Structure 1
Amino acid sequence: MRALSVRGARQRCDPCREWFDRPMTQRIEDHAIIGDCHTAALVDRSGTIDWACLPRFDSPSTFAALLGDEHDGHWTLRPTDQDATAVRRYDEDTLVLTTIWTTATGVVEVTDFMPVGAHRASIVRRVRGLRGEVEVRQAIRIRFDYARALPWVRQVGDDDGPALVATAGPGSVIVTGIRFHADDHRHVATRTVHDGDVLDTVLTWYPSHREPPEPVDVDDALASTRRWWRDWAGSARVDGRYADATRRSLLFLRAMTHAETGGVVAAATTSLPEDPGGERNWDYRYVWLRDASLALASMIAHGYRDEAKHWRGWLLRAIAGDPADVQIMYGIAGERELPEWELDHLAGYADSKPVRVGNGAYTQYQGDVFGEVLAALHDARELGVEENADSWALQRALLGYVEEHWKEPDNGIWEMRGPRRDFTHSRAMVWAAFDRGVAAVEEFGLEGPADRWRQLRDAVRAEIDEHGWNAERGSFRQHYDTDEVDASLLVLPQIGFCRADDPRMLGTVAAIEQDLRVGDDGLVLRYRTTSGFDGLSGSEHPFLACSFWLVEQYAASGRIEDAEKLMDVLVGYANDVGMLSEEIDVATGHHIGNTPQALSHLTLVSAADAIARARGAAAGHRTRTPQHDGSTHSWTGEGGRAGVPA
C-alpha cells in the first residue's frame, strides 16, 4: 500500500519512507486498542502507545503523539535491535494484545492490556523471554492535558520497588516495575531479557490529591482480565461465514461501552481526519444516540440482554426531562454541554488541523434520532427487557414532541453544517418512531393513542412518497430540494419503511451505485461533497458503514453473491487485529478517520447477520435472526407488520 499524502515538514517522497518509518508517525491501521471499559489506549506496530486518555475515554490525554509527535506524550517498548520483526494478535476472545518480537539474538513476547474491574485505570506491559536474549528499551514521555502540562516527575521507592511518579494539576500517574532514568524530559530504561525472564511495567492513574495506589498484581490482573473478556464473548450467539469478524466487532463495541454508565462512545479518538490535511476532524469520544441505539441492536441480535438493560438505563437518564431538550449526543455520563474548541499547539495527525475537543454538533437538531431511540427501546422490549412506567412515560413524551415537530427541517444523519433541510432519511425515521409507538400499544399492551400515531405514520409516508421520491430518476432523494441520493437511504428497508426488493428501493440502489460507489472495489460515499451544501471544504473517502449497509441491502434483495463479494472486500480492510476506522482511502487502502469506529463495527455485525439470514432463506431454513433494528418481524413495507414467522 502507498503511504498517505501528508503536508508540511512531514511530506514524504518515494522511495524514502521518512514519515511512516518514524516510530511516532504510524498509520491509523497500525494501531490496536486495549481497554478496561472505562477508557482505552492505542498501541501501534512499533510498540508505542501514542494515544491514551485517563481515566475516561473523554479525559484529557496522557499520551497524544498520535496527534502530534513524540514530544506530545508516548510510551515505547520494543527491542533495541532496529531490524526486529513483530507479529501481534489478541489472545482469543479478549482485548489482551500479544506481540512476538524476533531479533538476531532471541525472541520476546510483549503483552499489553488494561485490567478490567480495577479501581484505577492502569496500563500493563509485560515482557517475557521466549528464546535467547533480547535487549529491550522503554521510553516514556508523560504529558497531561493534551500535552499542555509538563508534569513534575520524581523517583520514589528503592531498587526492590522502583517507581516513577508524575503529577500535573488534578492527575497523577505512577509507573512501577522498573527503574527509569531521566533523558531530556522523558524517562528511559534498558534491560536484557533472557529466556524465561518476566519483566512487568505498570502505569496507573490516580487523583493527584490522593496517595499512590497499591501496585497491581500483574498475574492476578492478567488472569482475571482474560477470564472477563472470554466469559463475555462466550455468551454471544455467532455463526456463519463472518463469525470471526462479527465476534471481534462485538468485542470492540463492548470495549467502547462504559462499564458504569452504559454509554457507548462513537470512537476512542478525536480529530483523526476524514481528509488528511483538511478540516474534517471531529471528536468522537461521546455518545451519539443514533450510534448507541444501533450498537444496542447489534448486542440484542446476539443475545446480550444485560447490555440492553444497561444502555436503556443510560438513555433514560440522559434524555430525562423536557423532550424539547433532547440532543443528538451526550457525554459518557449523560453530560449535555460538549462545547467545541481547538488545540492549536498540536500539529494534528498528518498535519491535519484543527485538533478539536468537544463537538459542536451537539446543538444540532436531527429528527432521525427519535426514531433510532424508539426503535432501540422497542428492540429491548422484544428481547424481554421489562418496561416500567417511567420508561414508557418518557417514550410517550418523546412521541408527543415528534407529533408537534416532525415537519421541521433538520441537519440530518451526517450533521450537515449548512442550512437545515427536509432529509428523506430523517422523515423515514420519524415514520419509524410512530410505527414503534403503534407496535408498543398493539403488541405489548402499553397505553397510548395508537390511532393518532397510526394516522401520523401514514401522513409521514404520504409526504415522503410525494416529496422524497424522484419519479424522473426512479429513486428516493437525499432531501426534498435535490435530485441527489444519499447512502442513508439504504436504511429504509432496515427500519421497515419498504421492502428491500421494492422497485423504488431497487431504483435507489441503482442510483447509489452510479453516483456514490468509488474505486475498483465499489465502496460507498455518504453523499457527493461536490455540491458543497454540507458547509465544509474539501472531500472525504468512502464511509465504511454505508458500504456495510449496501451489503445488507444486497443480501435482503436476493443479490447474495454481490453481498458476499463486497463483504469480503470490507472485512479485508480490517487491520491485522480486526479493527476498522471510519473510512477507507481506496487509492492506498489506508484507514481514515477516528478509530475504532463503533458505527463501522456495528454495521459489520448487521451485514454479516443479513448474509447469514439470506443464505438460510436460500437453503430453505427458517430463521429468526433479528433484522438491523433488532426485530424478528417480517415487514409489509406499507406501514405495518405482517406478523412473526413461525
Structure 2
Amino acid sequence: MNENNSDLELWPIGNCQVSGLIDRRGGIVWGCVPRVDGDPVFCALLNGTSQDVGAWRFELAGQVSAHQEYIRNTPILLTRLEAKDGSAVEVLDFCPRYEGNGRMYRPVAYARIVRPIAGNPRLKVVLRPMKNYGAELADTTSGTNHIRYLAHDHALRLSTDAPVGYILEQRTFRIERDTHFFLGPDEPFTGNLREEVRRMEQATRKYWQLWVRSLATPFEWQQEVIRAAITLKLCQHEETGAIVAALTTSIPEAPHSERNWDYRYCWIRDSYYTVQALNRLGALDVLEKYLGYLRNIVDDAAGGQIQPLYSVMGVAELNETTASWLQGYRGMGPVRVGNAAYKQVQHDCYGQIVLPTVQGFLDRRLLRMADDRDFESLEQVGEMAWKMHDQPDAGLWEFRTRQEVHTYSAVMSWAACDRLANAAAHLGKDDRAAFWRERADTVAKTIDDKAWKENGGEGGHYGASFESDYLDASLLQLLELRFIEPDDERFLKTFAMVERDLRRGQHMLRYAAEDDFGAPETAFNICTFWLIEALALMGRNDEARELFCTMLGHRTGSGLLSEDMDFETGELWGNFPQTYSLVGIINCAGLLSRSWNTVR
C-alpha cells in the first residue's frame, strides 16, 4: 500500500445496482441511489471537512486502530475496529447480490453486520444520509424497528435489531451480540432480520466466489487481477449493461486544478477497454450485457453520429452543472454533476463499438450469437468510421476548445474497417470482406501519409494529430490495435520520442502540451500501463516487469487505483476506482506473467 494515498484509501462494495465507498475508519462516505449516477445520499467524500455529514459510521468508544480486508474473492469488506481498552468489533459490509426465484437479486440496499469480538465494546451509530447533492439532510421518520430516510426522489428504510432510539439520538451503547443493519427499499423487511441478513451475506459470498472461480487468471499476480476484475464488474450497471468510467465524480486530477469531472457515465471508449480486459479473463457475462447496451445505442443513433458517452440508462443529454452545497474533495471544488463531453465529437467511438461487437459473430460460448441483421447494423457504424476517419474531433483526451484530426481516432476508424472485414470473411460474405478490406487499406495509407512526421534530423515519428507534430501516449496503442508491428522501424522511432517527451521517471503523461486548463500536472495511470504493454510487446520484459511491480506498489490497501498520480510523490488523484487503471493491471499481468505450465 502506498502511504501517500490516505485520502483515497477507499474500499468499494456493490452489487451492480448500487455501490458504496468505505473509508479506513469503516464509514460509508460515498454512495448514490437508486443507481451509480443518482443522488449521493452518502457524500462525505466530497463534503470537505464535514466528514460525518453524509456518512454512515460505527464509532467505537476509545478507538485506536482499524484494519480492513476483503473476504477472499468477494467485494464483502471486513473492518476490525479496536479500542484502547482492548475491546473490539468487526463490521461486515456488503450489497446483496445472488440468484433467487429465477432472477438476480440486487436491491438498492446496503447491509452491515457488527460483531463484538473482544472486551465490552461501546459504539455510536452515525447515520446521516443527505439529499439533493448535499443540500440538506434526508427527512427522517421512525417506527419500532426501523428508520425511514426520504432523499430527493428516493426513500430508504433502515431495518435493524439495534435500539432505534440510540441511533436517532446518536447515543453510545454497548454491543453485546451480533447486530444487523439493512438500509434498503422503503418497505417492511420480510422475515427474521438476523437470519435473513446472514443468509444474504452467505449467498452474496457464494455468488462472487463462484464468479471468480470462472475467471482464467494469469499464474502471477492472481490476487491483483482478481481484485481488479471484481471491481470492474461492480462498475457495470447490470440493468442495462452500461459500464461507468468510475464510481465517483469530481475528485480532481491534480490539486486545485478544477479538472473535476463526473465519471459516473458510460464512455464508449472506457467500456471498450473494460470488456476487452474482462474478456481476456473469460468474464463473458459482462461482455454480453454490454453488447446489449451497445445494440440499443446503435439503434437509437439510426446510422448517425454516436456520442462519446451516455447515461447508464442510455440517456443522451448529460447537462453539466455544479453541486454548490458540496465543498469538494479535500475542499477542492467544484463538484460537477453531468458531463458536457457528451456534446463533443470523438470519432474513435465507432471503432470502439465495432471491436467488442465483432466477437458476437465469432464466440460460440455466447448465449446470443450475432446474426446477419446485427452485421448490417454494425456496418452502419463502420460507415460512420469511414466517413469520419480524416475529420477533426476533440480526441480521446476530450479537448474542450480545439479540434484536430487525431491519429488515435483515425487508427480506431481503421480498426473498425479492418475488424468488419474479418467478421465478414468469417460469415462467408466475401464481397463485404473485400469492401471493408479496401477501406481499411485506404485509411491506413491516409494515416501513414498524414500522421507521419519526418521531424528533420530526429528520425521521424507518428504525431498525435495530422496537423501537428506533438506527441501523446495514445500512439503506444498502435501496437495493441495491431496497426503496426513492434519491430517496425516507424514504431520504434515513435516509441523513443514518446518515452523521451512524456515519461517522468516511472510514470507517463498523456501529453505534455498545454490544454484548456494549462499544462498537465499528474501522470495518467493507463498511459503508464500502455508503456508497460509496449515494452513487453517489444521484448523488453525485464523493464516492463520492474515498472509493473512499481505501479502495483502504488495501489490502495483495497488493491485499486484512481485515474491519475503525482509522478513525484506517488499520491493518487482523479476519480476512483478508475476502470482504465484496473484494465491496465489485468492486461499487463496477462502479458508479463509466467505460464501456468512452467510451474506444473
Partner of 1:637: none
- Give the SS at the match of 1:260: coil
8 Å Cα contact 1:277-1:350 kept in structure 2: no
Correspondent of 1:465 among 441, 448, 457: 448
Correspondent of 1:136 among 102, 123, 133: 123
Partner of 1:248: 227
8 Å Cα contact 1:72-1:146 kept in structure 2: no
**1:89-100 residue pairs with structure 2 within 5 A?**
89-100=69-80
Alignment deviations for residues 125-183 of structure 1 (CA, whole Å, 9 cap, x no partner) = 211122222222221112112112433212211xxxx2211224421111222234589
1:571 aligned partner, one-letter code: L
Alignment deviations for residues 525-570 of structure 1 (CA, whole Å, 9 cap, x no partner) = 1101xx33x3224633111111111111111110000110010011
Task: Write the distance in 1 (CA, Å) between the matches of 2:206 and 2:3.
Answer: 38
- The change in CA–CA distance for 1:382 and 1:551 in structure 2 (over 3 A counts) is farther
8 Å Cα contact 1:318-1:333 kept in structure 2: no
Correspondent of 1:77 among 35, 51, 58: 58
Partner of 1:512: 498
Partner of 2:408: 425
TM-aligned CA deviation for residue 447 of structure 1: 6.8
1:432 aligned partner, one-letter code: A
Partner of 2:557: 576
Q: Which range moves more in the overlay, 95-104 or 590-599?
A: 95-104
Correspondent of 1:236 among 197, 215, 237: 215
Task: Write the distance in 2 (CA, Å) between the matches of 1:187 and 1:416.
Answer: 50
TM-aligned CA deviation for residue 499 of structure 1: 1.0
- Give the SS at the match of 1:295: helix
- The change in CA–CA distance for 1:283 and 1:169 in structure 2 (over 3 A counts) is closer
Q: Which range moves more in the overlay, 66-75 or 346-355?
A: 66-75
8 Å Cα contact 1:348-1:355 kept in structure 2: yes
Task: Write the distance in 2 (CA, Å) between the matches of 1:2 and 1:261.
Answer: 36
Partner of 2:466: 480
Task: Write the distance in 2 (CA, Å) between the matches of 1:617 and 1:81.
Answer: 49
Task: Write the distance in 2 (CA, Å) between the matches of 1:251 and 1:447.
Answer: 40
Partner of 2:170: 188
2:175 aligned partner, one-letter code: V
- Give the SS at the match of 1:323: coil
8 Å Cα contact 1:523-1:542 kept in structure 2: yes
8 Å Cα contact 2:9-2:558 kept in structure 1: no
Alignment deviations for residues 585-620 of structure 1 (CA, whole Å, 9 cap, x no partner) = 2333221111111111112211111113xx55998x
Q: TM-score, normalised by structure 1?
A: 0.85
TM-aligned CA deviation for residue 233 of structure 1: 0.7
8 Å Cα contact 1:287-1:331 kept in structure 2: yes
**1:115-126 residue pairs with structure 2 within 5 A?**
115-116=96-97, 117-118=104-105, 120-126=107-113
8 Å Cα contact 1:583-1:593 kept in structure 2: yes
Task: Write the distance in 2 (CA, Å) between the matches of 1:282 and 1:561.
Answer: 36
Task: Write the distance in 1 (CA, Å) between the matches of 2:519 and 2:485.
Answer: 35
- Give the SS at the match of 2:115: strand
Alignment deviations for residues 403-431 of structure 1 (CA, whole Å, 9 cap, x no partner) = 32322111111111121111111111111
8 Å Cα contact 1:63-1:146 kept in structure 2: no
- Give the SS at the match of 2:242: coil
Pair 1:526-2:510 in alignment = yes
List alignment gaps of at least 5 residues for structure 2: 98-103
**1:565-604 residue pairs with structure 2 within 5 A?**
565-604=546-585
Task: Write the distance in 2 (CA, Å) between the matches of 1:489 and 1:617.
Answer: 32
Partner of 1:42: 21
2:289 aligned partner, one-letter code: H
**1:220-299 residue pairs with structure 2 within 5 A?**
220-299=199-278
**1:320-339 residue pairs with structure 2 within 5 A?**
320=299, 321-339=301-319
TM-aligned CA deviation for residue 331 of structure 1: 1.1
TM-aligned CA deviation for residue 89 of structure 1: 0.7
- Give the SS at the match of 2:333: coil
Correspondent of 1:61 among 40, 61, 82: 40
Aligned structure 1 segments of 4 or more residues deviating by more than 4 angstroms: 1-4, 180-183, 615-619
8 Å Cα contact 2:386-2:413 kept in structure 1: no
Partner of 1:351: 331
1:65 aligned partner, one-letter code: A
Task: Write the distance in 1 (CA, Å) between the matches of 2:384 and 2:86.
Answer: 69
8 Å Cα contact 1:138-1:189 kept in structure 2: yes
Partner of 1:86: 66
- The change in CA–CA distance for 1:176 and 1:351 in structure 2 (over 3 A counts) is same
- The change in CA–CA distance for 1:187 and 1:588 in structure 2 (over 3 A counts) is farther
8 Å Cα contact 1:78-1:136 kept in structure 2: yes
RMSD over aligned CA atoms reads 2.3
The total of aligned residue pairs comes to: 579
- Give the SS at the match of 2:435: helix
2:202 aligned partner, one-letter code: A
2:173 aligned partner, one-letter code: R
- The change in CA–CA distance for 1:496 and 1:187 in structure 2 (over 3 A counts) is farther
- Give the SS at the match of 2:425: helix
- The change in CA–CA distance for 1:391 and 1:516 in structure 2 (over 3 A counts) is same
TM-aligned CA deviation for residue 119 of structure 1: 5.7
TM-aligned CA deviation for residue 329 of structure 1: 1.0
Partner of 1:381: 361
- The change in CA–CA distance for 1:618 and 1:370 in structure 2 (over 3 A counts) is farther
Q: TM-score, normalised by structure 2?
A: 0.92
TM-aligned CA deviation for residue 572 of structure 1: 1.1
Partner of 1:13: none
- The change in CA–CA distance for 1:119 and 1:304 in structure 2 (over 3 A counts) is closer
TM-aligned CA deviation for residue 2 of structure 1: 10
Pair 1:369-2:353 in alignment = no
- Give the SS at the match of 1:325: coil
Partner of 2:399: 416
Task: Write the distance in 1 (CA, Å) between the matches of 2:188 and 2:318.
Answer: 31
List alignment gaps of at least 5 residues for structure 1: 5-25, 622-646
- Give the SS at the match of 1:332: coil
TM-aligned CA deviation for residue 31 of structure 1: 0.6
- Give the SS at the match of 1:326: coil
Task: Write the distance in 1 (CA, Å) between the matches of 2:202 and 2:111.
Answer: 13
